């Protein structure tokens, strides 16, 4: 429950440049090293030997990604999982993929144009519906009259007004006869002498003319049939383009599979572009590794590298703690809870990983707020159904459900019925004050534990003054205990003497004095900051503790909701009663269950984590071969 | 917006307005060396800027980032259509990136060089810069751009490219035109009073665009009156559609200038070069914005005016700093920043 991230060591590896790629591959296979960018020795080792490799890799990877989107079949598992990919190989591959992509891009552009063309034809076809009622010979639209020229077509609606004004400068008129989906279908007519000017303006306005074929001399319905044939033809062209793309990709599938395999192997070395430094044939690599694996790393490097190398492992210094990545111990049970902790932040290297405590308190609170044997059992069963798709949800759901069942026995509640099972303790409604008191005591214990963890984290991070004198440190802990004691004396014994006052004032004075030393600025400014922070400390402790009243409130709410369901059901006949009880229980499980889950998370994050957990740690991201 | 929020915004705007650098001060900077310019900007604006010789666009990025930080504070009290309008107006800064990308790809410039010209807009950025830089040809980039909020603008740019080839000026004009049309459409969704005030500030900007591009289309590109008129954007304060149609039919720049309504006729009376007219028109439109910013009438129009003025200030300083970094002659810098007329 009190785990900390695994102990780390800084690894410094000096080697000959020809071995650098092999070293990257060896370390990637082990997946043990978190590479570290360091400015130390920057003047001596000015070169970044992996940078040119990265440039080619990056281009190649991006091009590969663009092509891969069009592939319908997944890649096969690579035959080799280890190996060195040279820069020349990458460059050759890049050239190959450049050609493939150029062809894919060309086909994509042709498809786009074809789609655009087809849309226009479709729109023209639908616009002809407006002519259908007229017995009009459309071939007249094709014939250029001696004085009058008529053009039919479509134009984007946004361009219509401006086009209308512009055409008036050429003595042409435009008339909208149908409008749909942002396209206006129009008739343009005017003097035959002005053709060039008009076409230029119409082109700019994205005007698409209705093409009346030479041989055509029929009615609108016949032209529409003609346009439909055109759409069919265009669809065929689209299919041909799709076919050409499929054929192209299947023809190049071996090349793409090769690119896929080589990119996997090239990834580790390319990712060291800004980390690996060198000069004159010597390269230097820095990183963090789990302390327990240093000998394994040394042995593997001795086995794989051709030339002599020098490797050093050293424990991190205190000043480096912020930079050390946190590798948390793996546990299938805690995995979903670790994910919820990560939502808040990653534990710092020397911080306690709160996942265990979080899991335990979350499950406990959920049960306390949602205690019901039947509802808990439904949650367990529903969660088990999700095992294959969402294993994390199942783990949290089953544990929360079991906790709910346990508290169901404690409260004597089964699907909201309070008199079927004998309670091990009592129903929350039986004595609400008692349950509220229990919630406050639970909250106080929770905050005290959080305070103790904060003190431990301060000490582990080398901050003894904060551990002793800050509001989250020992002084804060004493203040909280004193406040609790004073509240108890006042409420239970109606007593508040100099002793209680002194117990409160002493730790508060220490906290304020510490804050005074920490603050900077003018006298008034410092005074204000210290007073406000002191006040904020008192308020946050009080509000934090009272915040846990919701634990009791929701347990009461659960009973009250069930009572409301039974009251409604009581007004129905036997069938209606049954239906109401079933639906009411579903409503309680889904809605109240979700609210309780969120409220528990809120208490964990705001009343727990914010008191002891910085969440400013760095995730351990080892050099590895991507799958 | 609550009374408290509007008071807050009014105060903020007044503080920001007091930190804007005047045109006269900016012109004086031309004679300074780079370090002195940075020091003067820091003193006048209260923002700290870091110079790094190795990263040529570092200071340009910092200038934009500071502007974005201020806009982020200004945008907070707005909601609904006001917020959407404000957000869209800030896209003006991103248009510069869009132009750099389109120009760069159409001219076959290397991605690394294009990247150096781009400005980081932080959370106001809508363009997937990394993916766009990874495109291999202009059409691939256009296809990708058509999946962004700039799809409409890009479609127009594509059309212009297919019609007129790689004419960078025309591409720029097409992008600006589409942006102004979209901005004007968003202004229509504002409350009547807001829309009225905003259109006054925007009007000067639209007049400037329309007049200058009308002159260029007609007399530099030799386009017909109808096409020149069609390529203009939404109408502004003084130059209404009927006015522009009348001007489009004229046969010389002098004739157009003489037929302009006041104050444009007087402002442009003795200027023969379109580039110089652009400078004069820009300062006139900025003076309208400055008046709106200093008049405590309407919050949205004040905010929009501030965006306009800040954009001009950032653009001026970026051009000036670039000129200094390239060690250009002060006269050349004067021309580049538009301070010579």
- Give the pLDDT confidence of A582-610 residue by residue, as tens digits: 999 999 999 999 999 999 999 999 988 88
A397-434 in b/e form (b: 16+ CB < 10 A) is bbbbbbbbbbbbbbbbbbbbebeeeebebebbbeeeee
Judging contacts by C-beta atoms under 8 Å, the chain B residues touching residue A168 are 245
Q: Which residues contact A360 (CB under 8 A, 6 or more apart)?
A: A1
Tell me where in chain A the CATH 3.30.70.2750 domain(s) lie.
137-218
**DSSP reduced 3-state for A284:** strand
Q: Higher confidence at residue B326 or residue A28?
A: A28
A478 has pLDDT over 70: yes
Which residue(s) pair with A16 in the sheet?
A282
- Tell me, what's the pLDDT at A221? 67
Query: Are the beta carbons of A170 and B248 separated by less than 8 Å?
Result: no
pLDDT band at B341 (very low <50, low <70, confident <90, very high): low
Element (H, E) at A512: helix A498-518
Nearest to A162 among B223, B230, B248 (CB): B230
Q: In angstroms, what separates the C-alpha of A201 from chain B's closest C-alpha? A: 5
d(CA B253, CA B270): 11
ipTM for the predicted complex comes to 0.84
Q: Which of B139, B143, B231 lies closest to A204 in CB terms?
A: B231
- Of the candidates A66, A108, A167, the beta carbon closest to that of B226 is on A167
- Strand duo A325-326 + A618-619: pairing: parallel
pLDDT at A215: 47
pLDDT at position B171 over 70: yes
CA B37 to each of CA A103, A606, B32: distance values in angstroms, whole numbers, following the listed order: 50, 47, 6
Do B127 and B102 contact (CB within 8 A), yes or no? no
Instruction: Report pLDDT for A552.
Output: 93
Is A108–B140 a contact, with Cβ atoms under 8 angstroms apart? Answer: yes
Task: Please answer whether residues A62 and A317 qualify as being in contact, where contact means their C-beta atoms are separated by less than 8 angstroms.
Answer: no
Distance from C-alpha of A531 to C-alpha of A79, rounded to nearest angstrom = 68
**Nearest residue to A206 via CA among A166, A171, A160:** A160
- Over range A518-539, report the average pLDDT: 86
Note the pLDDT of residue B250. 93
Chain segment A266-318, per-residue pLDDT in tens: 999 999 998 999 888 899 999 999 999 999 999 999 999 999 999 999 999 98
CB atoms B230 and A62 under 8 Å: no
Each residue's pLDDT tens digit, B85-122: 988 998 888 998 999 998 888 888 988 889 888 888 88
Q: Is A537 exposed, middle or buried (0-12, 13-18, 19+ CB in 10 A)?
A: buried
Residue of A63, A200, A206 with shortest CB distance to B227? A200
- A21: Cβ contacts below 8 Å, ≥ 6 apart: A84, A269
- Angle of CA points A166, B208, B334, to nearest 5°: 140
Tokens found for residue B224: 């017909």
Q: What is the 3-state secondary structure (H, E, C) of A92-140?
A: HHHHHHHHHHHHHHHHHHHHHHHHHHHHHHHHHHHHCHHHHCCCCCCHH
Q: What confidence score (pLDDT) does residue B338 get?
A: 67
Helix (H) or strand (E) holding A154: strand A148-156
Tell me the CA end-to-end span of chain B in Å, nearest whole number: 43
pLDDT at A143 over 70: no
SS3 A435: helix
Percent helix, strand, coil in chain A, to 5, is 65, 10, 25
**Any bridge partners for residue A172, and if so which?**
A190
Q: Do A163 and B136 touch (CB under 8 A)?
A: no
Tokens of A229: 């044939």
Other C-beta atoms lying within 10 Å of the C-beta of residue A571: 9
**pLDDT tens digits for A358-384?**
999 999 999 999 999 999 999 999 999
Taking only the tens place, the pLDDT of each residue in A94-103 is 999 999 999 9
Domain covering A137-218 assigned CATH 3.40.50.740 in the classification? no
Q: Do A165 and B140 touch (CB under 8 A)?
A: no
pLDDT at B31: 85
| d(C-alpha B318, C-alpha B336), whole Å | 11
Q: Do residues A69 and A245 lie in contact, with contact meaning Cβ atoms separated by under 8 Å?
A: no
Answer whether A602's CB lies under 8 Å from A547's CB: no
Q: Rounded to whole angstroms, how far apart are CA atoms A265 and A256?
A: 14
The confidence band for B7, taking pLDDT boundaries of 50, 70 and 90, is: confident
- Tell me the residues of chain A between 117 and 176 that have a Cβ less than 8 Å away from chain B: 158, 162-163, 165-170
Tell me the helix, strand and coil percentages in chain B, rounded to 5: 75, 0, 25
A216-220, A263-267, B275-279, range with greatest mean pLDDT: A263-267
What residues contact B130, with CB distance under 8 A and at least 6 apart? none
| Percent of residues, chain A, with pLDDT higher than 70 | 93
Residues, chain B: 341
With a CB cutoff of 8 Å and minimum separation 6, the contacts of A491 are: none
What is the structure's pLDDT at A270? Answer: 95
Q: Give pLDDT tens digits for A436-475.
A: 999 999 999 999 999 999 999 999 888 899 999 998 999 9
> What is the rounded CA–CA span in Å between residue A130 and residue A182?
17
Cα dihedral value A85, A87, A93, A98, nearest 10: 150
Average pLDDT over residues A323-344: 90
First CA to last CA across chain A, in angstroms? 32
Higher pLDDT, B142 or A147: B142
How confident is the model at residue A461, as a pLDDT? 85
Residues A25 and A562: their CA atoms lie apart, in Å, by 61
* Alpha carbon distance B74, B336 (integer Å): 31
What is the overall mean pLDDT for chain A?
88
Among A8, A4, A3, A1, CA closest to A321:
A8
From the candidates A166, A199, A202, A205, which should be mutated to test the interface with B, based on the most B CB atoms within 10 A? A166
E-strand ranges in A219-331 read: 277-279, 282-290, 310-314, 325-326
A-chain CB neighbours of B143 within 8 Å are 108-109, 112
Let me know: does B34 contact B321? Beta carbons within 8 Å: yes
Looking at residue B211, its pLDDT comes to 93
Tokens of B209: 């665009």
Minimal C-alpha gap between A76 and chain B (Å): 27
Residue B216 pLDDT level (bands cut at 50, 70, 90): very high
| Nearest beta carbon to residue A170 from set B134, B159, B226 | B226
Q: pLDDT-derived band of residue A236, with 50, 70 and 90 as boundaries?
A: very high
Confidence of residue B155 (pLDDT cuts 50, 70, 90): confident
Q: What digits encode the pLDDT tens for the residues A6-15?
A: 999 999 999 9
Cα B111 from chain centroid?
24
Least confident of A75-84, A305-314, A492-501: A75-84
Give percent of chain B above pLDDT 70: 96
A233: tokens are 């033809």
**The two three-digit tokens of residue B134, written as one number:** 């990874």
Name residue, tokens 């400005």: B119
**Residue B158 pLDDT more than 50?**
yes
- B58-75 vs B3-19: helix crossing angle, rounded to 10: 160
For residues A49 and A1, the model is more confident at: A49
* Rounded Cα gap, residues B283 and B289, in angstroms: 10
According to the model, what pLDDT value does residue B190 have? Answer: 87
**Mean pLDDT for chain B overall:** 86
pLDDT of A189 above 50: yes
β-strands A282-290, A208-209 pairing: unpaired
pLDDT digits (tens, 9 = 90+) for B263-302: 899 988 888 788 888 889 998 999 999 999 988 778 899 9
- A33 has a pLDDT exceeding 90: yes
Q: Given this model, what pLDDT does residue A269 score?
A: 95
> What are A190's strand-pairing partners?
A149, A172
A49/B193 Cα distance (integer angstroms)? 63
Residue B168 pLDDT level (bands cut at 50, 70, 90): confident
Cβ within 8 Å of residue A201, ≥6 positions away: A163, A166, A167, A170, B224, B226, B227, B230
């Amino acid at each position: 429950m009190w785990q900390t991230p695994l102990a780390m060591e800084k690894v410094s590896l000096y080697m000959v440049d020809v071995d650098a790629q092999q070293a990257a591959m060896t370390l990637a296979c082990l997946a043990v090293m978190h590479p570290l960018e360091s400015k130390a020795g920057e003047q001596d080792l000015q070169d970044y030997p992996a940078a040119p490799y990265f440039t080619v890799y990056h281009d190649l990877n991006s091009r590969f990604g663009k092509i891969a989107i069009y592939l319908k079949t997944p890649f096969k598992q690579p035959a080799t999982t280890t190996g060195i990919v040279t820069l020349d190989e990458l460059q050759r591959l890049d050239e190959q993929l450049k050609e493939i992509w150029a062809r894919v891009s060309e086909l994509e552009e042709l498809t786009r144009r074809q789609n655009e063309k087809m849309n226009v034809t479709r729109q023209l076809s639908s616009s002809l519906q407006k002519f259908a009622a007229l017995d009009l010979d459309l071939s007249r639209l094709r014939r250029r009259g001696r004085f009058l020229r008529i053009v039919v077509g479509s134009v984007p609606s946004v361009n219509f007004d401006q086009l209308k004004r512009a055409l008036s400068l050429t003595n042409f008129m435009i008339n909208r006869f149908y409008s749909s989906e942002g396209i206006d279908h129009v008739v343009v007519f005017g003097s035959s002498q002005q053709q060039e000017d008009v076409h230029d303006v119409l082109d700019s306005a994205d005007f698409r003319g209705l093409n009346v074929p030479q041989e055509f001399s029929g009615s609108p319905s016949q032209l529409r049939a003609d346009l439909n044939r055109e759409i069919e033809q265009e669809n065929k062209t689209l299919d041909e383009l799709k076919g050409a793309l499929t054929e192209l990709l299947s023809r190049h599938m071996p090349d793409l599979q090769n690119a896929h395999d080589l990119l996997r192997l090239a990834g580790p070395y390319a990712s060291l572009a800004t980390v690996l430094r060198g000069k004159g044939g010597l390269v230097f690599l820095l990183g963090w590794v789990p302390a327990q694996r240093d000998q394994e790393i040394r042995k593997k490097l001795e086995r794989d590298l051709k030339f002599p190398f020098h490797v050093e492992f050293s424990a991190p210094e205190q000043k480096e703690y912020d930079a050390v990545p946190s590798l948390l111990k793996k546990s299938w049970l805690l995995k979903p809870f670790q994910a919820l902790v990560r939502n808040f932040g990653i534990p710092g290297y020397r911080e306690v990983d709160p996942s265990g405590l979080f899991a335990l308190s979350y499950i406990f609170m959920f049960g306390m707020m949602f205690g019901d044997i039947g509802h808990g059992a439904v949650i367990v069963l529903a969660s088990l159904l999700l095992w294959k798709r969402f294993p994390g949800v199942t783990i949290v759901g089953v544990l929360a459900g079991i906790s709910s069942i346990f508290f169901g026995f404690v409260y004597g509640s089964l699907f909201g019925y309070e008199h079927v099972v004998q309670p091990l303790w009592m129903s929350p409604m039986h004595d609400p004050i008692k349950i509220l008191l229990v919630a406050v005591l639970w909250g106080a214990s929770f905050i005290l534990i959080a305070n103790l963890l904060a003190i431990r984290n301060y000490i582990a991070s080398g901050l003894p003054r904060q551990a002793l004198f800050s509001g989250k440190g020992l002084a804060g802990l004493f203040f909280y205990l004193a406040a609790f004691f004073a509240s108890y004396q006042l409420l239970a014994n109606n007593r508040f003497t100099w002793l209680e006052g002194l117990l409160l004032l002493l730790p508060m004075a220490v906290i304020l004095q510490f804050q005074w030393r920490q603050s900077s600025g003018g006298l008034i400014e410092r005074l204000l900051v210290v007073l406000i922070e002191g006040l904020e400390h008192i308020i946050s402790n009080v509000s934090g503790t009272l915040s846990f009243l919701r634990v009791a409130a929701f347990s009461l709410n659960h009973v009250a909701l069930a009572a409301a369901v039974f009251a409604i059901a009581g007004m129905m006949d036997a069938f209606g009663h049954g239906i109401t009880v079933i639906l009411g229980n579903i409503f309680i499980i889904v809605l109240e269950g979700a609210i309780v889950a969120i409220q528990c998370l809120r208490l964990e994050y705001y009343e727990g984590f914010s008191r002891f957990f910085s969440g400013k740690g760095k995730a351990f991201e080892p050099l590895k071969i991507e799958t | 917006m609550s009374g408290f929020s509007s008071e807050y915004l009014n105060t903020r705007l007044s503080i920001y307005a007091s930190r804007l650098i005047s045109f006269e001060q900016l012109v004086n900077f031309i004679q300074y060396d780079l370090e002195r310019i940075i020091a003067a900007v820091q003193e006048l604006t209260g923002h700290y800027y870091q110079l790094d010789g190795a990263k040529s666009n570092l200071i340009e990025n910092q200038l934009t980032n500071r502007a974005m930080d201020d806009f982020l504070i200004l945008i907070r009290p707005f909601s609904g259509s006001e917020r959407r309008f404000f957000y869209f107006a800030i896209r003006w800064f991103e248009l510069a990136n869009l132009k750099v990308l389109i120009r760069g790809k159409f001219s076959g410039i290397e991605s690394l060089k294009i990247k150096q010209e781009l400005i980081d807009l932080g959370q106001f950025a809508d363009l997937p810069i990394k993916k766009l830089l990874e495109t291999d040809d202009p059409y691939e980039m256009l296809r990708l751009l058509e999946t962004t909020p700039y799809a409409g603008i890009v479609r127009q740019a594509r059309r212009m490219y297919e019609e007129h080839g790689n004419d960078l000026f025309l591409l720029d004009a097409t992008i600006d035109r589409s942006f102004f049309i979209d901005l004007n459409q968003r202004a229509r969704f504002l409350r009547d009073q807001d829309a009225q005030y905003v259109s006054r500030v925007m009007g000067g900007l639209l007049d400037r665009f329309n007049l200058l591009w009308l002159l260029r289309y007609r007399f530099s590109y030799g386009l017909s009156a109808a096409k020149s008129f069609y390529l203009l954007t939404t109408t502004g304060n003084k130059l209404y559609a009927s006015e522009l149609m009348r001007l489009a039919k004229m046969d010389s720049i002098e004739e157009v200038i003489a037929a302009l309504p006041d104050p444009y006729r007087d402002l442009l009376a003795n200027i023969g070069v379109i580039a110089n007219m652009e400078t004069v028109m820009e300062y006139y439109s900025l003076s309208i914005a400055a008046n709106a910013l200093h008049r405590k009438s309407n919050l949205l129009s004040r905010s929009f005016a501030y965006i306009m003025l800040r954009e001009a200030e950032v653009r001026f300083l970026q051009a000036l700093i670039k000129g200094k970094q390239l060690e250009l002659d002060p006269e050349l810098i004067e021309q580049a920043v538009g301070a010579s007329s």
